[in-house]
Amino acid sequence: MHVPAERVRDRPDGRDQADRRERRGHGGPFLEPREQNQQRHDDDPAADSEERTEEAGDEADENEHGRIVRAVSALDRLAEAPDRAGIVLDVDGTLAPIVPRPEQAAVPEETRQEVARLADRYGLVACVSGRTGQDAKRLVGVDGVRYVGSHGLELEPSAARWSEEIHRFAAGVDWPVEDKGLTVSFHYREAEDEDAALEYLKEVAERARAAGLAPRFGRKVLEIRPPVEAHKGTAVRQLLQEAGLRRALYAGDDTTDVDAFRGLDGLEIAVRVAVSSDEAPEELVSAADVVVSSPAELLRLLRRL
Ligand SMILES: [Mg+2]
């Protein structure tokens, strides 16, 4: 059985290879067949130094192999009894490729069709997004899917009490704001000077914290959230509980998705899929059971379900 996962794209600064060696050392999650490793060594000027740790590498390969076998088996078991399983998906960077501005995002038609097929087949299909649930629904546009917005805050009744405070805070920030109702976001993907933008937004985050709010950085974005215990993890748990399901797959690409991965802890079958990229947070990739390199590759994985 072929595992539809490829290694993460090389980073131009070579960090990728260093990171990967480090991860492989403790049995990292990359589903990379052995022959691909070999190919990589042939092309890799750093391979000589790796050969000195050949034995450790073999052990890591064994760990990797074990991990692949476990992941494939878990995917098969989900697919064998779909009415007993939930498929929960992030939207931006997971179903919809990342674009310079969030309003340009789109879910490809073939992905939409696949989500519709899953919605017919599985006990639960849900999208948990940083957008509002309404916006996520507009973007994905598939009926029969449960949409939960604001990283799960929409399922937490106490979040709404902070809305006014958050909007007042945002009005005092000299940066374009994306209003998501229960949260606000400051994007800096298109900033002319990204370092300066990040420096400014770090100050904003400090001010937000001092004001009793909960700032959080994601992929080229600072989000200001209410200080309530609600995140993608609490949302995933609630959705699965309500549906009476103890088997699930979750796929996501960003820091907030790590919470969702943890939300699967303790289930009978759990598959945590990281959609990796140059910007993928290390903690997401290292917490994943399966790593795919793009939304297109995730689509190939979903088609197996
Ligand atoms: Mg995302």
Q: How far is the CA of 76 from the centre of ligand 1 (A)?
A: 25
For ligand 1, the distance from its centroid to the CA atom of residue 49, given in whole angstroms, is 36
Task: Return the pLDDT at 43.
Answer: 47
Domains of the chain in start order, with CATH, are 157-225 (3.30.70)
How far, in Å, from the CA of 85 to the mean position of ligand 1?
Answer: 22
Contact call for residues 242 and 88 (beta carbons, < 8 A): no
Question: What separation in Å is there between the alpha carbon of 287 and the centre of ligand 1?
Answer: 16
**CA 205, chain centre distance (Å):** 22
Q: Would you place residue 147 in the very low, low, confident or very high pLDDT band (cuts 50, 70, 90)? A: very high
**CA 137 to ligand 1 center in whole angstroms:** 15
Distance 48 CA to ligand 1 centre (A): 37
Q: Are strands 146-148 and 124-128 parallel, antiparallel or unpaired?
A: parallel
- Most confident by average pLDDT, 45-54, 67-76, 116-125: 116-125
Give residue 221 CA to ligand 1 midpoint distance, Å: 11
Ligand 1 centroid from CA 107, angstroms: 12
Spacing, Cα 47 to ligand 1 middle (Å): 34
Q: How far is the CA of 202 from the centre of ligand 1 (A)?
A: 21
Question: Kind of pairing, strands 247-252 and 221-225?
Answer: unpaired
Mean pLDDT of the chain: 84
CA of 253 relative to ligand 1 center, distance in Å: 5
Query: pLDDT at position 249, please?
Result: 98
Residue 40 Cα to ligand 1 midpoint, Å, equals: 29
Q: How far is the CA of 151 from the centre of ligand 1 (A)?
A: 10
Look at 26-30, 89-93, 230-234, 259-263 and tell me which has the smallest mean pLDDT.
26-30
Bridge-based pairing state of the strands 184-187 and 178-179: antiparallel
Rounded distance from Cα 129 to ligand 1 centre (Å): 7
Write the CA distances from 131 to 91, 180, 192, 252, 305, integer angstroms. Answer: 9, 6, 25, 14, 26
* pLDDT confidence of residue 61: 76
- Worst-scoring range by mean pLDDT, 139-143, 169-173, 188-192? 188-192
pLDDT at 56 over 90: no
26-35, 48-57, 243-252, range with greatest mean pLDDT: 243-252
Task: Render pLDDT for 192-247 as a digit per residue (tens, 0 to 9).
Answer: 999 999 999 999 999 999 999 999 998 899 999 999 989 999 999 999 999 999 99
Ligand 1 mean position, distance from CA 207 (Å): 25
Distance 291 CA to ligand 1 centre (A): 14
**Cα-to-centroid distance, 131 and ligand 1 (Å):** 10
Q: How far is the CA of 46 from the centre of ligand 1 (A)?
A: 33
Ligand 1 centroid distance, CA of 91 (Å)? 6
**pTM check: above 0.85:** no
Ligand 1 midpoint to CA 227 (Å)? 21
